[in-house]
Amino acid sequence: MVIATSLKAANCAQNLGKATEFILHNSFYIAKQKLELSRKAYKKLIKEWRWEKEDKKYLKVAKTFKKFSPSDLAEIEPSTLFLLSNQSKKYAPVIEQLLDMVSITQEKVRELIKKQRKPKPIRVEKPSIWKMARDGRRYCQVPPIHDQAAGVALQRMMDEEGKSAQQIIAEALELRQAMKEGRLNINVESQNQATEDIEVTTSEVVERDEFLDNSSQQVVYEDVFHDEPSFEIDNSEAKEDYAVFSDNIIFNPTTNQETVESLSNELFSIVENINSFSRNPGQEIKQLVLKIISLCNEQPVSEQWNVLAEITRRDNEALEVVVKCSGKEGSEWFLNLPQLLADAALDNPEELEWVGKRLRSQAMLLISTR
């Protein structure tokens, strides 16, 4: 479709300039009528023009450019004129600069507007779990948790306790908050006698991997209950930033500090060099682990975790080796491990920080049920 027009392209800017002048002339006229006429007479005039509120934008133009003559702004196209008047506060510096110009052109005004506009600050939105329901109420939605151990633990608690995932997570949050606030740092004179009397049959199969946090190493373990297991632990990225809290440990008088240090040195010698073994190292490690478990079992229940923590130097990788190599002989001790940690964490919540996720979760669950 072709639209015929008598206007020449070269005259477009000039014609729009005339339109700007007409707009300014009429804006000043409307402003003068509003000033001179009574309110009733002014409203009558607006109705005669069949307007309702259309006069307001022209009154803004008159107010914004009252210090200019229509010919001063003849080269500004109409939409720019209305832009400046509709946002007169924002572009007040632009209008002030126009007063100092001898010749005002569309190009100059456009550049001044660009300079006045400030880039919007980039807002980095923090991750949020809050969603809005259809009824307007808020609810929180936890994103997917890509943690197999956490998922298994949560499902097991749901099945065993008959609680929803939301209830269990809420309880875990309350417990974590209590630990951060130091409200778990209390003295409790109690021992779980039922835990001490656990009977483990030789037919039981214990999944030790559930208590370990394997995020920093890969473990391949075959037949943990055989006499000569073959395994490989990749600890090339193992950290040595463990902390030793020996001042907080109270040893039984029968415990020999030299024995603890000797077992610890042997354990870390194996941990540091476990990738260099060319043949089955199973028996050597297993015998060492049995010595460690035996020494722990010789202590009062309240001190067993502290002795284990001293031997492993509170290093999760070393604890992992002890747990994996405990075998049938250490099954009872292994099952009691979460309870030992829970008892120790009541006085020293820091004990929960260096162990694996699964063991930590089990211990925190035991604490929450007290």
Per-domain residue ranges of the chain: 1-116, 256-369
pLDDT at residue 215 greater than cutoff 70 = no
What's the whole-number mean pLDDT along residues 127-144? 84
pLDDT, residue 285, reads: 84
Q: What is the DSSP string of 139-156?
A: EE-PPP---HHHHHHHHH
> One-letter amino acid identity for 76?
I
Q: How far apart are CA 353 and CA 357, in angstroms?
A: 9
Q: pTM of the entire structure? A: 0.35
Q: What is the DSSP string of 340-370?
A: HHHHHHHH-GGGGTSS-HHHHHHHHHHHHT-
Mean of per-residue pLDDT scores for the chain: 75
Confidence of residue 203 (pLDDT cuts 50, 70, 90): very low
pLDDT in tens, 2-59: 454 555 555 676 667 688 889 999 999 999 999 999 999 999 998 998 988 888 999 9
133 DSSP β-pair partners: none
Asked if 179 contacts 324 with a C-beta cutoff of 8 angstroms, the reply is: no
pLDDT, residue 137, reads: 85
pLDDT at residue 304 greater than cutoff 80 = yes
pLDDT in tens, 238-288: 333 333 333 333 444 444 577 888 888 888 888 877 654 444 447 788 888
Which of 281, 284, 285, 312 is closest to 296 using CA atoms?
Answer: 312
